[in-house]
C-alpha cells in the first residue's frame, strides 16, 4: 500500500448511488464511470470504464438490503480496481452490514462481522471508511486501517439549531446496550441522560420497561445507532411517554426500516424520527414523522483528509 495515489477517484455500486454523487459534488469531482450489473444467473458484473492506475480509489457502497448482493458488488469492485493497478483502495461503507454479529452469543454462533472483514481484506481493500459501527470493537477485526466516523456530529448540529434552549431536555438510551453512545451524545448536547431497561420479571410474562432517570415534564430525544424493525425504539418511546415525557423525538444513524418499522413509527408516540442517509430512504416512503439528514459533506471531508494524509479525528 502506498501513502496515497496520484489523484482521487470515487466510484459507486448500486446501494447508495445518490450519496456517492453528492459526495463528489462537495469535492468538485465527477463520479467515476463504472457500471455494476448482474448476469442472467445473478452473478455480479462490474465494468470500470476509466483508468485507475496509480489512483487513490474510493468505492462508496453501503451493505444494506439486499445485504449479500451489495456486499458482493463491493468485493468485486475492489477486485476489479486492484487488478487494474489502483494505487490505494478505500472501501467507503456508510452502513456496515453484519455488524450485529460481532460475538458468539451462544454455542456454534458465527462471528459474521469478522468474516466480512476478512473478505474485504482478501479482495484487496487497503482502508475502510465507515460510520457508527454497531460495535466499535469491529475495527479490531481488520488488519488494515479503519476510520469509524460519528454521526452524532450531524445530530448535534441539527438539534442545537432546532432547540436553542435545550438545557432541560433529556437524551434517552432505548436499551442498556446503547448507553455509551447515548452518553457521548448527551455530553455533546449538554443534556441529561435517561435509560430504558427492558426485562421479563418471570417466564411468559410481558416485558416491563423500567425508566432510569427523570423524564417527567421534559422533552426527550431517543438516540440509537440504527432502527431496524423499530420495536425497541417505539416501546421505549411509549415507556418514557407514560412516565411523563411531554415530547418524544428520536434519531438514529442508520434507517434499516425492515418489516413493520414504518407502520410502527407512524402509530407510535414519537413526534419526529431523524435518520442519516447512510441507507437510502425506502421507495415510496410515506411517513411524515421520518426525516433525513445528509452525511455527504462529512464523507467528502473524510475522503479529502484521507488523500491528504490529514487527521480525521480533528473533524470530531
Please state, in angstroms and as integers, the Cα–Cα distance from residue 164 to each residue in 99, 167, 276, following that order. 35, 9, 21
Contact 312, 149 (CB under 8 A): yes
What cell numbers appear for 149 in the block? 466516523
Choose, from 65, 82, 114, 198, the residue flagged as catalytic. Answer: 198
Separation between Cα atoms, residue 304 and residue 274, nearest integer Å: 27
DSSP 8-state symbol, 247: E
C-alpha cell at position 115: 468474516
Percent helix, strand, coil in the chain, to 5, is: 35, 25, 40
3-state secondary structure of 162: helix
Instruction: Give how far the C-alpha of residue 139 lies from the chain's centroid of Cα atoms, to the nearest Å.
Output: 14
Relative to beta strand 88-93, strand 127-131 is parallel
Q: What is the dihedral of CA 39, 42, 48, 53, to 10 degrees?
A: -120
198: annotated active-site residue: yes
What is the maximum span of the chain, computed from C-alpha positions, in angstroms?
63
Q: CB under 8 Å to 41, separation ≥6 — which residues?
A: none
Mention every residue, 6+ apart, whose C-beta is less than 8 A from residue 61.
12, 13, 14, 15, 16, 70, 73, 74, 77, 91, 92, 93
Beta strands 44-48 and 34-38: pairing type?
Answer: antiparallel
Nearest to 275 by CA among 298, 249, 238, 248: 249
Residues identified as active-site: 198
Amino acid at each position: 500500500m502506498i501513502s496515497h495515489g496520484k489523484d482521487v477517484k470515487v466510484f459507486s455500486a448500486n446501494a447508495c448511488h445518490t450519496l456517492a454523487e453528492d459526495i463528489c459534488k462537495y469535492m468538485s469531482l465527477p463520479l467515476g464511470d463504472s457500471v455494476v450489473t448482474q448476469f442472467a444467473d445473478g452473478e455480479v458484473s462490474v465494468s470500470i470504464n476509466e483508468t485507475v492506475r496509480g489512483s487513490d480509489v474510493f468505492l462508496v457502497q453501503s451493505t444494506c438490503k439486499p445485504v449479500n448482493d451489495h456486499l458482493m458488488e463491493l468485493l468485486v469492485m475492489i477486485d476489479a480496481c486492484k487488478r487494474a493497478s489502483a494505487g490505494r483502495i478505500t472501501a467507503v461503507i456508510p452502513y456496515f452490514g453484519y455488524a450485529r454479529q460481532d460475538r458468539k452469543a451462544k454455542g456454534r454462533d458465527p462471528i459474521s462481522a469478522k468474516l466480512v472483514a476478512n473478505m474485504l481484506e482478501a479482495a484487496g481493500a487497503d482502508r475502510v471508511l465507515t460510520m457508527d459501527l454497531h460495535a466499535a470493537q469491529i475495527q479490531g477485526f481488520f488488519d488494515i486501517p479503519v476510520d469509524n466516523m460519528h454521526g452524532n456530529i450531524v445530530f448535534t448540529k441539527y438539534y442545537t439549531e432546532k432547540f436553542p434552549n435545550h438545557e432541560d431536555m433529556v437524551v434517552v438510551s432505548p436499551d442498556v446496550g446503547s448507553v455509551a453512545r447515548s452518553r457521548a451524545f448527551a455530553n455533546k448536547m449538554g443534556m441529561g441522560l435517561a435509560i430504558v431497561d427492558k426485562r421479563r420479571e418471570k417466564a411468559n410474562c410481558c416485558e416491563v420497561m423500567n425508566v432510569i432517570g427523570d423524564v417527567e415534564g421534559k422533552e426527550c430525544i431517543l438516540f440509537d445507532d440504527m432502527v431496524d424493525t423499530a420495536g425497541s425504539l417505539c416501546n421505549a418511546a411509549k415507556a418514557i411517554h407514560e412516565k411523563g415525557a411531554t415530547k418524544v423525538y428520536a434519531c438514529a444513524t442508520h434507517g434499516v426500516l425492515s418489516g413493520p418499522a414504518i407502520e410502527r413509527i407512524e402509530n407510535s408516540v414519537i413526534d419526529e424520527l431523524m435518520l442519516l442517509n447512510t441507507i437510502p430512504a425506502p421507495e415510496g416512503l410515506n411517513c411524515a414523522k421520518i426525516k433525513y439528514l445528509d452525511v455527504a459533506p462529512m464523507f467528502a471531508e473524510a475522503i479529502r483528509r484521507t488523500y491528504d494524509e490529514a487527521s480525521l479525528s480533528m473533524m470530531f
